Chain A
Amino acid sequence: MGVFVFLPLVLPLTAWPIARLAEQHLHPRTATRLLTAVAAVMAVCSTVCLGLVMVVGTAQLPGNPLPDGWSDPEVREAVPYDEIVGKAAIPALCVVLVACGRTLWRHARVRRRAHRALAGLRPTEVAVLPDGAPYAYALPGGRRDRVVVTTALLQCLEPAERRALFAHERAHLAARHHRFLLAVQLAARANPFLRPLRTAVAYTAERWADEEAAQVVGSRRTVACAIGKTALVSRGTPVVTLAGFAAAGPVPRRVAALLGPAPAARRWPSVFTTVGLAVWAAAAGTAVSAMSSANSAVTMVLILYAATPL
């Protein structure tokens, strides 16, 4: 095995190119599903690997409750530098578990508090709040799904653009986008190398809703205008970036994408174009990397299983 056991911890790095390419060239629906799946598989493998390294590294410490067979020389041979790595894996695993727990807890808390804030209103699908700050959110909640929008935002949009806004938020709720967002957030907590995938999925989920809204209102330009106007009136919260490296932010990219042609649905670009070649190569690389990640994790489980006295 050798250093291969550590592969699941670093292989998430290989998902970066596919995140970039999928974001730009695949249909947003395909891209969201693909990237979320890749992130989930890699996060699970990375966490399993971390757990196993910890087990092997600590099995020889006196007074541990683990089976004696796990400290056999054959098992320890499978993990290079087992003592150092094993001990380092303990805090790492704790950090991962605490971070994931906190993310889940916060997710539940935001949803609970937001629903409680709306408790006094009539149970309509759209909740219009009289507020001077322009914002709109899709608030998931099973049968209590709601679209929250303020009067300040509705005032600055024309009727067609309002329809686009509602269609966009409804698309978020109908496709359960919050689950994708939660999954990639947990993945990013499990392995920091997966953070670019979280950013990519946050963007593709918005694009997905944009495309759905464009189909509902029948005009890509109306959706683009609605997004543009909303962003310009609610620009009170600037994103902190290094000005020198500031690439175009997600909002202008979404508007530009909507002003361009519609993305081809459920079709990957042909291998015989430059873009297609890059996408397929990146997809193949990611698949291989996810598989070797899974392979390393499974091998470790098998070694430990063989060493367990029955």
Chain B
Amino acid sequence: MAEQQRPRRRGQGELEALVLSALRDADGPATAGWVQERLGGDLAYTTVITILTRLLAKGAVTRERVGRSFAWTSASDHAGLAAHKMRKVLDSESDREAVLASFVTGLGPDDERLLRELLGQHRSERED
């Protein structure tokens, strides 16, 4: 029965988003135990710690030592985290061009001059 309660395995991104939003709901720094409780306790404590550490590496959270454990604070929102992850995808995939049609591609050596000429021409035409 317990198997049916949990519909499917959640992806890494989803868990990070969950933990981050829990942390953003907190008033000030929160401990990993608090986050785990907040998420309804269906995540293991170690899982929460793993996800928090991963978020720390991505710059989405900060932590400070309080006694023997850490207190965590969210440093960015979901959009910031998504931006960070997207940059990583774009930087690591050399032939992303086949999937993600980019709005513009890089400019060649003479392209910039040519482009400025074309746009300048257009601007002066509009002023006439």
Neighbour of B86 across the interface among A148, A231, A250, A252, CB < 8 A: A148
Residues of B contacting A133 with CB < 8 Å? 87
**Which A residues lie within 8 Å of B119 (CB)?**
224-225, 228-229, 255
Could you say which residues of chain A place their CB within 8 Å of the CB of B2? none
Cα-based distance from A229 to B1 in the complex (angstroms): 58
Q: Is the CB–CB distance between A251 and B89 below 8 Å?
A: no
Q: Distance in Å from the Cβ of A32 to the closest Cβ of chain B?
A: 12
**From A113, which residue of chain B is reached at the shortest CB distance?**
B89
Which A residues, 101 to 134, have Cβ-Cβ distances below 8 Å to chain B?
103, 106-107, 109-111, 113-114, 116-121, 127-131, 133
Sorting the interface of chain A by its residue count into under 10, 10 to 19, 20 to 34 or 35 or more gives 35 or more
Contacts of A241 in B (CB 8 A): 108-109
Contacting pair B109 A107 (CB below 8 A): no
Q: Encode A61-86 as 1/0 by CB contact (under 8 A) with B.
A: 00000000000000000000000000
Residues of A within 8 A of B101 (CB): 137-138, 172, 177-178, 181, 205-206, 209
Contact residues, B1-24 vs A (CB, 8 A): 11-14, 16-17, 20-21
Residues of B bordering A, CB below 8 Å: 11-14, 16-17, 20-21, 78-83, 85-90, 93, 95-112, 114-116, 118-119, 121-122, 126
Which A residues have a C-beta under 8 Å from some C-beta of B?
103, 106-107, 109-111, 113-114, 116-121, 127-131, 133, 135-140, 148, 150, 153, 165, 168-169, 172, 177-178, 181-182, 185, 202, 205-206, 209, 221, 224-225, 227-232, 234-235, 237-239, 241, 243, 246, 248-252, 255-256, 259
A110-B89, A135-B103, A140-B99 known; 19 other A-B pairs, CB under 8 Å?
A: A114-B89, A119-B82, A120-B16, A121-B78, A131-B83, A133-B87, A148-B86, A165-B103, A177-B101, A181-B99, A182-B99, A185-B98, A224-B119, A228-B115, A235-B106, A238-B109, A239-B106, A248-B111, A250-B105
